[in-house]
């Protein structure tokens, strides 16, 4: 991980380094040169609904065009929509998304896709970062044009619906959809149409500051309550850039990424369409997923955190389904990146294909109690394994839980946080164990 790029692009507080206009312009120049070197001639830019999005869009566009590369503005569109456009628009050498995903409105970020809708490799990120942080890039005599893609959302949603030719049902499934006042607020209405589904939308009136505010994939309480009130079949909650999905079943219970993986993998295996009989997930996945896949006789590959790492392992193993418990799901037969609306369509396909409720389908996996706590730390990020108080607390908890649980402690790739995750046999025991480690962190690492 470099100075700028974290696990998912560049991210920080808008109008504060590194999310400044100056750095955005230099990022645009670096991506422009990257595009020229790949033999392409344009870059697509999309954004979510944050108030700072247009400011950063303008700076990025200026930087790109100063290298003689054209800019195509897709406006407000989900991250996977930009990935799709960057694979089908002729001459597009890269796609940039201006979004901080599930973070509050005052944060923003820059995610970069190369031609084909694939996120940059570590080496490519490093090369671009060197250019951003290096000497000023001299503009070329040739200046690129800046124009607007007027049908970006339509092309993307059309691509999704082509994958799922649902016939008009005898009885429509009832959906509650929370777009998190984010990038999916318009596109979702084009996908989950009235002729196919009976849909109620909430949190789909963005004002630039209400993105992810007590809504979306991080806050499913409103969806759960409305599913029960409306007697809906399923609730679907996206995050700010709609590359994540957290579902809610017909009983109002949250169905996170691990259970979605298990549901979709079982359905695919039964139809001989599970690539290489493998599911890929990350070290953050629940022990329950491990047990469920073992029961289903499905091989399981585990990788580091980040949907980019999941994709890399999927490509290495010829897997077609992978994802994270946080809601990033990759269905490689259909798309190259995590896609919340695609995942929602996959779940609906299983429900329609089996005739079962989501609550019944979710029984494929028993979820172990999992507690995740975050502790704010400074930028120095010392090796916590070498801090005696923390190391002793972790060892004590691991000994207590034995084979009935596990501990995972890691720094966030996008925020100044140390994440402490503990799984155990009971909620109260698990919470106490997690708090024990967090307290050790507060008493030591936060004071270094």
Rg (CA), the chain: 22
With 0-12 / 13-18 / 19 or more C-beta atoms within 10 angstroms meaning exposed / middle / buried, residue 415 is: middle
Residue ranges making up the domain that contains 38:
5-151
Asked which of 231, 253, 275 is the last residue of a domain, the reply is: 253
128 shares a domain with 51: yes
128 shares a domain with 28: yes
pLDDT score, position 113: 97
For 136, which DSSP code?
A: P
Of the candidate ranges 103-117, 271-285, 301-315, 400-414, the one whose mean pLDDT is the lowest: 400-414
Neighbours of 409 (CB within 10 A): 20
144 shares a domain with 22: yes
326 shares a domain with 376: no
Q: Do 422 and 374 touch, CB atoms closer than 8 A?
A: no
263 shares a domain with 243: no
In a domain, 158, yes or no: no
Please provide the average confidence, as pLDDT, over all residues in the chain.
Answer: 94
What's the residue count for the chain? 448
In a domain, 163, yes or no: no
Query: Is 126 in a helix, a strand, or coil?
Result: helix
Residues annotated as part of the active site: 101
In a domain, 161, yes or no: no
89 shares a domain with 11: yes
For 241, which DSSP code?
A: T
- Band of residue 444 on the pLDDT scale cut at 50, 70, 90: confident
Q: Do 359 and 260 touch, CB atoms closer than 8 A?
A: no
116 shares a domain with 23: yes
pLDDT above 90 coverage of the chain, percent: 84
pLDDT score, position 232: 98
- Band of residue 7 on the pLDDT scale cut at 50, 70, 90: confident
pLDDT score, position 95: 98
411 shares a domain with 382: yes
Of 236, 164, 160, nearest to 203 (Cα)?
Answer: 236
Of the candidate ranges 179-188, 387-396, 413-422, 424-433, the one whose mean pLDDT is the lowest: 413-422
In a domain, 46, yes or no: yes
In a domain, 162, yes or no: no
pLDDT score, position 207: 98
Overall average pLDDT of the 125-152 stretch: 90
28 pLDDT higher than 90: yes
Asked which of 349, 364, 379 is the last residue of a domain, the reply is: 364
Q: Residue 352's domain is classified under what CATH number?
A: 3.40.120.10
User: Sign of torsion, CA 136 137 143 145?
Assistant: negative
pLDDT score, position 1: 56
Q: What is d(CA 212, CA 246) in angstroms, rounded to the nearest whole number?
A: 13
Name the domain count of the chain: 4
223 shares a domain with 138: no
Q: Do 247 and 235 touch, CB atoms closer than 8 A?
A: yes
- Distant-in-sequence, close-in-space partners of 204: CB < 8 Å, separation ≥ 6: 177, 178, 179, 181, 185, 188, 189
- 321-345: pLDDT as tens digits: 999 999 999 999 999 999 999 999 9
146 shares a domain with 12: yes
345 shares a domain with 217: no
380 shares a domain with 360: no
| The 299-303 sheet, strands edge to edge | 299-303, 278-282, 321-323, 329-331
In a domain, 436, yes or no: yes
- 360-373: pLDDT as tens digits: 999 999 999 989 99
- 78-102: pLDDT as tens digits: 999 999 999 999 999 999 999 999 9
Overall average pLDDT of the 349-358 stretch: 96
Q: What is d(CA 1, CA 130) in angstroms, rounded to the nearest whole number?
A: 13
- Distant-in-sequence, close-in-space partners of 26: CB < 8 Å, separation ≥ 6: 63, 131, 132, 136, 137
In a domain, 165, yes or no: no
Asked which of 212, 237, 253 is the last residue of a domain, the reply is: 253
pLDDT score, position 170: 79
In a domain, 265, yes or no: yes
Q: Do 372 and 408 touch, CB atoms closer than 8 A?
A: no
Q: Residue 421's domain is classified under what CATH number?
A: 3.30.310.50
- Band of residue 448 on the pLDDT scale cut at 50, 70, 90: very low
Q: Are strands 370-376 and 406-411 parallel, antiparallel or unpaired?
A: unpaired
- 379-391: pLDDT as tens digits: 778 889 888 999 9
Overall average pLDDT of the 32-59 stretch: 97
């Amino acid at each position: 991980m470099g100075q700028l790029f974290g696990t998912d692009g560049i991210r920080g507080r808008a109008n504060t380094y590194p999310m400044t206009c100056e750095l955005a312009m230099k990022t645009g120049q670096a991506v422009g040169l990257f595009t020229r070197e790949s033999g392409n001639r344009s870059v697509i830019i999309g954004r979510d609904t944050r108030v700072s999005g247009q400011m950063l869009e303008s700076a990025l566009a200026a930087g790109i065009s100063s290298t003689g590369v054209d800019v195509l503005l897709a406006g407000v569109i989900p991250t996977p929509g930009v990935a799709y456009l960057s694979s089908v628009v002729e001459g597009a050498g890269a796609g940039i998304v201006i979004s901080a995903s599930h973070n509050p409105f005052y944060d923003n970020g820059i995610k970069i896709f190369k031609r084909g809708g694939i996120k940059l490799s570590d080496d490519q990120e490093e090369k671009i970062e060197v250019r951003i942080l290096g000497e000023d890039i001299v503009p070329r005599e040739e200046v690129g044009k800046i124009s607007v893609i007027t049908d970006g959302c339509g092309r993307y949603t059309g691509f999704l619906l082509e994958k799922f030719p649902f016939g008009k049902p005898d009885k429509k499934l009832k959906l509650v959809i929370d777009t998190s006042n984010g990038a999916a607020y318009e596109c979702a209405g084009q996908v989950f149409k009235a002729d196919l589904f009976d849909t109620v939308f909430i949190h789909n009136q963005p004002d630039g500051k209400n993105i992810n505010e007590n809504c979306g994939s991080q806050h499913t309480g409103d969806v759960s309550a409305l599913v029960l009130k409306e007697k809906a079949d399923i609730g679907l909650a996206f995050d700010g850039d709609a590359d994540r999905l957290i579902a809610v079943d017909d009983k109002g219970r949250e169905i996170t990424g691990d259970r979605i993986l298990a549901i979709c993998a079982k359905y695919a295996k039964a139809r001989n369409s599970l690539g290489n009989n493998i599911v890929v997930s990350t070290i953050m996945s629940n022990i329950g997923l491990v047990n469920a896949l073992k029961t289903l006789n499905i091989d399981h590959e585990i990788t580091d955190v980040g949907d980019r790492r999941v994709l890399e392992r999927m490509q290495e193993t010829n897997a077609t389904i992978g994802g994270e418990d946080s809601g990033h799901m990759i269905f490689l037969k259909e798309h190259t990146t995590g896609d919340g609306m695609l995942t929602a369509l996959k779940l609906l396909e299983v429900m329609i294909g089996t005739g079962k409720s989501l609550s019944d389908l979710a029984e494929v996996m028993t979820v172990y109690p999992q507690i995740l706590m975050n502790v704010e730390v400074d930028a120095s990020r010392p090796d916590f394994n070498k801090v005696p108080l923390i190391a002793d607390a972790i060892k004590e908890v691991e000994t207590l839980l034995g084979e009935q649980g596990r501990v995972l402690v890691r720094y966030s790739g996008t925020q100044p946080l140390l994440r402490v995750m503990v799984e155990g046999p009971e909620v109260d025991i698990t919470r106490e164990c997690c708090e024990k480690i967090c307290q050790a962190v507060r008493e030591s690492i936060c004071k270094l």
